[in-house]
């Protein structure tokens, strides 16, 4: 392949970033669009949680399958096909006429989303040398914060000029455009493209194959370790806590505080921008302090932020500040928990451990969306729900205190 002034790794990173941006604009932006969907579709907030959970159920069930297909056939094919499915699901959300249709459409989007996190992370890491992956993943991970920020800023304009359906049609169209971009630009590995990962030196050895993982029984060993379950349960608790706020924060501001939608949606922008800043600060910090110590700091700050929202969230300025604090640590939370796989378990099985912990993530999200939605419908407010979120954040913190601090070799 002819030499270029720009290493193809940066093209891969850019394409992966855009895919992530589109997916998380839909996933995290759901809470921004939801209040405008309730009355036209004649659904309750519990129903809104059901729509989101349809996405999560499908995502959880098929993520391990897509992970295997990614290893078997390569990221280019898997990500391209998943972008197609994601686009069709999001377009379907724009045509939804009720709870059933919306749930089916967002469930289809969840199937497409299975190719928009782990396969993209794996693809990014393959194209960058080990000592450069933190930089690459830090840039890559800003995609989901930027997606939420853009939804918070642009959605009120879309509603004012058009209506809520166009938010889904625009996202769906962007995902369908990426089918072409992925097919043309993505390459499954630098070796197959006749290149080397960016930043790799001549002395660096090739990464070990994962082919013998199952034969060696490493997965069984990991599942039998107490640390796997402690970290996984902590992950479940903190995901429950933070999604209990982020999914419903715009609805809380609009209907509990009486803030107009155009202003309430700014919470998503604040959240997204703070999230991007957190990724670039907290992730490098974890290389110095260790994953466990960084998670302890992060979970403590998340618990304090949610407690602050419970006690002082009735003030609009205070709510904006507290959402920003929560988002700063929210953005780095998922990558840091995932990075624990390399600190505490064999490197040959890192992806498998991350995939297994994704189940804890999904279960936490599913539980909180139903519980928070039902509590809001029955009580008329989010006080009890936010109180439970504080307790779950403290539980996540307590569980990580049982984990020894360890740094990757």
Domains of the chain: 1-192 (1.20.1250.20), 218-409 (1.20.1250.20)
Residue 384 has pLDDT above 90, yes or no: yes
What is the Cα–Cα distance from 396 to 392, expressed in whole angstroms? Answer: 6
* Helix (H) or strand (E) run with residue 332 in it: helix 316-344
Q: What is the pLDDT of residues 47-69, one digit of tens each?
A: 888 898 899 889 888 877 787 77
Phi/psi-derived region of residue 380, left when phi > 0, alpha when psi is between -120 and 50, beta in every other case: left
Residue 209 has pLDDT above 70, yes or no: no
Question: 128: helix, coil or strand?
Answer: strand
What pLDDT sits at residue 102?
95
Of 233, 278, 274, give the one whose Cα is nearest residue 397: 233
What is the Cα–Cα distance from 134 to 132, expressed in whole angstroms? Answer: 6
What pLDDT sits at residue 165?
93
Whole-angstrom distance between the N-terminal and C-terminal Cα of the chain?
Answer: 34
Phi first, then psi, for residue 299 (nearest 5°) are -65, -35
What pLDDT sits at residue 101?
95
What is the Cα–Cα distance from 300 to 292, expressed in whole angstroms? Answer: 12
Angle of helix 8-41 relative to helix 99-113, nearest 10 degrees, comes to: 170
Q: What is the pLDDT of residues 73-115, one digit of tens each?
A: 878 999 999 999 999 999 999 999 999 999 999 999 999 999 9
Token couple for 249: 């924060």
What pLDDT sits at residue 134?
62
- Residue-averaged pLDDT of the chain: 84
What is the Cα–Cα distance from 289 to 116, expressed in whole angstroms? Answer: 29
| CB within 8 Å of 130: residues ≥ 6 apart | 204
Position 183 confidence tier, pLDDT thresholds 50, 70, 90: very high
Q: Hey, which residues does 128 pair with through a beta bridge? A: 198
What pLDDT sits at residue 105?
96
Question: 123: helix, coil or strand?
Answer: helix
Position 207 confidence tier, pLDDT thresholds 50, 70, 90: very low
Nearest 5°: the CA angle 47, 263, 265 is: 40
What pLDDT sits at residue 408?
45
């Amino acid at each position: 392949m002819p030499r270029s002034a720009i290493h193809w790794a940066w093209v891969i990173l850019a394409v992966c970033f855009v895919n992530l941006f589109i997916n998380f604009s839909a996933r995290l932006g759901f809470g921004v669009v939801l209040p405008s969907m309730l009355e036209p579709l004649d659904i309750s907030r519990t129903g809104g949680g059901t729509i989101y959970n349809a996405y999560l159920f499908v995502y959880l069930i098929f993520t391990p399958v897509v992970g295997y297909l990614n290893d078997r056939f390569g990221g280019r094919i898997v990500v391209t096909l998943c972008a197609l499915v994601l686009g069709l699901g999001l377009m379907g959300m724009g045509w939804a006429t009720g709870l059933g249709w919306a749930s089916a459409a967002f469930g289809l989007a969840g199937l497409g989303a299975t190719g928009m996190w782990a396969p993209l992370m794996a693809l990014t890491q393959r194209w960058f040398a080990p000592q450069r992956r933190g930089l690459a993943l830090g840039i890559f991970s800003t995609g989901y914060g930027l997606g939420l920020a853009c939804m918070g800023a642009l959605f009120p304009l879309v509603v004012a000029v058009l209506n809520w359906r166009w938010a889904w049609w625009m996202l769906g169209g962007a995902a369908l455009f990426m089918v072409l971009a992925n097919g043309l630009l993505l390459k499954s590995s630098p070796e197959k493209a006749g290149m080397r990962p960016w930043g790799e030196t001549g002395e660096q050895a090739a990464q070990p194959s994962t082919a013998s993982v199952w034969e060696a029984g490493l997965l069984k060993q990991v599942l039998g370790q107490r640390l796997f379950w402690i970290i996984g349960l902590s992950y479940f608790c903190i995901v429950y806590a933070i999604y209990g706020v982020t999914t419903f924060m715009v609805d809380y501001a609009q209907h509990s505080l009486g803030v107009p939608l155009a202003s309430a949606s700014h919470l998503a922008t604040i959240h997204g921008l703070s999230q991007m800043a957190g990724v670039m600060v907290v992730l490098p910090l974890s290389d110095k302090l260790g994953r466990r110590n960084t998670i302890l700091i992060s979970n403590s700050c998340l618990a304090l932020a949610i407690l602050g929202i419970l006690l002082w969230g009735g003030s609009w300025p205070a709510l904006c500040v507290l959402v920003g604090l929560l988002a700063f640590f929210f953005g780095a939370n998922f990558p840091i928990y995932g990075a624990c796989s390399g600190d505490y378990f064999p490197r040959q099985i890192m992806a498998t451990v991350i995939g297994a912990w994704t189940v804890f993530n999904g279960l936490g999200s599913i539980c909180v969306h139903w519980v928070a939605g039902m509590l809001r419908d029955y009580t008329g407010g989010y006080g009890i729900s936010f109180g439970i979120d504080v307790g779950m954040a403290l539980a996540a913190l307590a569980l990580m205190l049982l984990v020894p601090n360890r740094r990757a070799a």
